[in-house]
């Protein structure tokens, strides 16, 4: 088996691309510019965690057991992988803020707040 593909440049940390693909069975080769998937761009630690997580079907208790780490550490590593794949991780405070925004807008639609009061509440929430 060949060497593992390096997904990020060791010099500038930007994403790498593949220039040539080769089939060792039939000796077919293709040249061009091929992008690596987001999964290929994960570092070794993130890939290992993702493999363990997937192998255990997302069962955090099993991931804890296999890796010998705590629940908060599993969550933290999962969040790190999610971010490395280019997605945002919603925090508990993000969820609370979304709920509070809905409450403010609901109060506005029920006439319990004026538009100025609702705007002030939303701005205050944004600055917290």
Note the pLDDT tens digit of each residue in 53-68: 999 999 999 999 999 9
Confidence of residue 2 (pLDDT cuts 50, 70, 90): low
Torsion sign across C-alpha atoms 113, 115, 120, 126: positive
Taking the C-alpha atoms of residue 54 and residue 74, their distance in angstroms, rounded to an integer, is 13
19, 33 contact by CB (below 8 A)? yes
More confident residue, 61 or 40: 61
85, 38 contact by CB (below 8 A)? yes
Mean pLDDT along residues 89-111: 84
Confidence of residue 1 (pLDDT cuts 50, 70, 90): low
118, 107 contact by CB (below 8 A)? yes
Residue spans of alpha helices (H) in the chain = 44-55, 60-67, 71-84, 92-109, 115-127
pLDDT of 105 over the 80 cut: yes
108, 121 contact by CB (below 8 A)? no
74 HSE (CA, 13 A, CB side): 19
pTM: 0.60
Confidence of residue 26 (pLDDT cuts 50, 70, 90): very high
pLDDT for 38 equals: 86
């Amino acid at each position: 088996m060949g060497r593992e593909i390096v997904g990020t440049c060791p010099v500038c940390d930007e994403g790498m691309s593949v220039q040539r693909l080769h089939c060792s069975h039939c000796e077919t080769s293709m040249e061009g510019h091929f992008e690596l998937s987001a999964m290929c761009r994960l570092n070794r630690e993130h890939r290992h965690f993702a493999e363990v997580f997937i192998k255990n079907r997302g069962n955090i208790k099993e991931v804890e057991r296999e890796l010998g780490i705590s629940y908060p550490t599993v969550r933290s590593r999962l969040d790190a992988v999610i971010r490395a794949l280019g997605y945002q991780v919603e925090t508990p405070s993000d969820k609370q803020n979304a709920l509070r925004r809905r409450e403010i807008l609901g109060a506005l639609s029920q006439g319990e707040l004026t538009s100025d009061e609702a705007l002030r509440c939303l701005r205050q929430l944004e600055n917290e």
